[in-house]
Structure 1
Amino acid sequence: MPSSEDHPQYVVLDHIVTPDTNEIALGDQVTRLEPKSMEVLVHLFAHAGEVVSRDQLQDAIWGDVIVGDDSLTNAIIKIRKAFKDDARNPRVIETIPKRGYRLIADVSPLAPQHAGGWKLGSILAAGAGMLVLIAGLFVALWQLEDPVHEVVVRGDDRVHVAVAPFQNISGDPAQDYLAQGVQQSILNGLVGVPQVVASQLNTGSSADYHLEGNVLRAGARIRIDTRLSDAVTGVILSTQRHDRAFSDLLEVQALIEADLVAALALDIDLAHRTAQSRALTDSIEAYDLFLQARAALLPRDPQSNTHARRLYQQAIARDPNFARAYGGLALTHAADFRNGWVNDTEHALGQAQAMAETALSIEPDLPDQYWVIGYVQTQRRNFAAAEAALNEARKRDPGYADALALLGGIRTYTGQPADTLPLLRDAIRLQPDAGYLYFLLLGRAYYFLDECEQALINLGEASARNPSNLEARIYMAACMVRQGDIESAEWEVEEILSIEPMYSLKTFWTTYPMTSQTQITALTSDLGKAGLQ
């Protein structure tokens, strides 16, 4: 294409672009770009139809001058604003995820003999002062508007949002559960949006956007601040502050979710999503108890498990139709069975299944409830029923990582550890902040594949995330035996017995749902060499 010096004006979607004056005109409406923004546009003209990387654009426009990524992002934003271009349905500039930008509009140089009617020289000569005043007013008003942000969509056509842990800024550690609960509830709400992949933010997260928040409860009021930013450039796209009565917490969370969806320019039924978000319970007291229970359940020890059960029961007493509370209650009974924390383990498992089925009967479309059913059936060694429930969960949410992870765990239980690996990798891809269980399942599979170096890496991560979990330590000890490090294996067994003095392999195999006799024999032999009988 000829250079801008040869053809100082271009036609793009009926707009006249004049690089010499940094102007884009549509009829008598004129927008003036900053010089660097115009240079970006002209460079894209010169490579129309080609993908131009961010690095190429930065080198071409800024050269050796060091600028942040937001300089290019802001230039693209301003160009799109001038053309009233939609980043999600572009007519001028298309974002190519992870690669750069492409000019997709037809561009043609405006011949000099036809350009006179469009040049502003005569207008400026006739009334330069008035035009400058109008242009200045136009630019000032334009800059006051909220910036149009580009929604970067990956190859799976979904927006990836990483949600950072919300901060409790009350100064009272007893309110930590509330910040955790608000963050988790908003995260769950975003997970339910089909166009969004939402996960917790950690150092390894790869996302298009970051969401951060603060929570402050003071007496009968609560304040929640959120900030949505571009993960690459750091440009802040949306900030919100909701200062309301604590009794409005459920409504505030629904408003935050709706505002985020609007900020991401996603076209969904907001009314439906808001109603779905509030369908958990109408009782703020029940919801508060539910958040406390969920936080208490995280440490995974007998005391916190019992405490969590009482809180779930109190939540249900305030709202007997609170499905998620029944699901949480089911998990406490399943934990009693799995860890041998009660004498009558069969009764505990029966209670877990009853509570899970109650949750499912109240809210049959929540994938979480199918996961609980799948977990209980796994403990019962009813693997076909477990997989059916987990597949139902995935039908309702194809991106439900926990269902994939448990499906992977079942593969190892039944003697197919190689089939576990791709399922867990997919689960971690969907949920980059994977909890300890994901790493435990990976480590376990690697142990049975006799890849103990990989196993110990994952088991160490699992143990670091949940030091009280004995299963990770069991497999670590077995791996150390495989590697010939008997002394370290014996030390690991001592750690297990210090946490649970009466622990034995007999106790372990009583509730462990493994059915592969080959694997049972191998693990028993290795642990015996480490001193666990």
Structure 2
Amino acid sequence: MAPKHWQIGDWCANPNANQIDGPNGSVELEPKVMDLLILLARQPGEVLSKPEIAEALWGNVHVNDDALTRTVFKLRKALGDKAREALYLQTVPKRGYRLIADVTPPAVVRPASLEGKPLPIRGLIALGLIVVSALVVLGVLVGGGADDAPAMQAERIDSRMARADGFYFRFTRADNEAALRLYESVLESEPDRADALAGLANALTQRVIRYTGPDAQERARPGVAAALAAGWLATPEAEAASARAVAFARQATERDPGHARAWRALGLALSAHREFEPARLAYERALVIEPDDWGALINLSEISQLSGQSEHVMPYMERAWEAMQRRYDRDAVEIGPWQSAVGIRIAESHTDAGSLAQAETWYRRVLALDPLNPAAIHGLAALLRAAGDIDAARALCQDLAAGTDETC
């Protein structure tokens, strides 16, 4: 029987055992990490986009960008590779990833009729793909082997993780509690899973900031600033709860130092614990890993306001808007509830500063993406009336009234 091992640079990969052997001895890989390695090894030197990789690894299960980033980080760590001096897995900015090491696929048994005859390289590759495909089909038909059980379990956990994230990003009290319980259930299966630790820390922090304390019973607080203004974060109950969130977030950064979401979770938890400078450093660390981490940029804007660094508030918000623009196609569900609010806040800031042309530009940017946003229409109509363009202001208000129950 032909061996099923792949030679990838200095490493020999055995997909059936989820193991690689090489310069650092034997290393066990998670099933998804091995899947990523073999996916790239089948097309050495070719760039695969993040959406292509996500579809190949997770199929129809929606996962956010952090799941792929975490998988890439774990593969690099196993191979002893470095992102900036890659010998195996190379990041191609704005495109995706590719494997740059030499690859020798599993050996193929040659038919007797071909003995003594050279096989063209294209024929060898095609024959190898046919054999691999046949083995996969055979594995499905006979129910697979013992290795299928861990893979199926991993898929179920990944699906539960994606569902938890879906609840979390709705930002309601009930959804936050549902997300919290799902993150806890993921950690029961994988106690060291960094994204679940970060998710749990986030849900615990949101519970403290928005949904607990006497003044939050009728209406959730909008953020850290409101919780501080209410005096809630200084209470022993809130301090204990936020300290717990900090502990989980720190665990996440220790388990996976290359996980942007873990550092962002730590920044949020530290903010709730009123440790603003350590929070700022955590957010900056997230941006080193993922420069388009728009959530970290929004939170840095709030930290700047709370710590008296008002000159940084709007630059961070404008960077957040641009990052949202670049990532919208990948993170539409997460970005949707936030982008208009960010644009409106920038417009209002320009209005307060007397930069009316800039304010009008930002209101129009919001309306280009969210045509019936009441706050943007109210703000732009007010600017147009002040400038004497009554007809344009009236037309905006008529569109709003025709499409919604809102009036100017």
TM-score by length of 1: 0.38
Larger Rg: 1
Larger fraction in strand: 1
Pick 1 or 2: higher relative contact order, CA cutoff 8 A, min separation 6. Answer: 2
**Between structures 1 and 2, the one with greater helix share:** 2
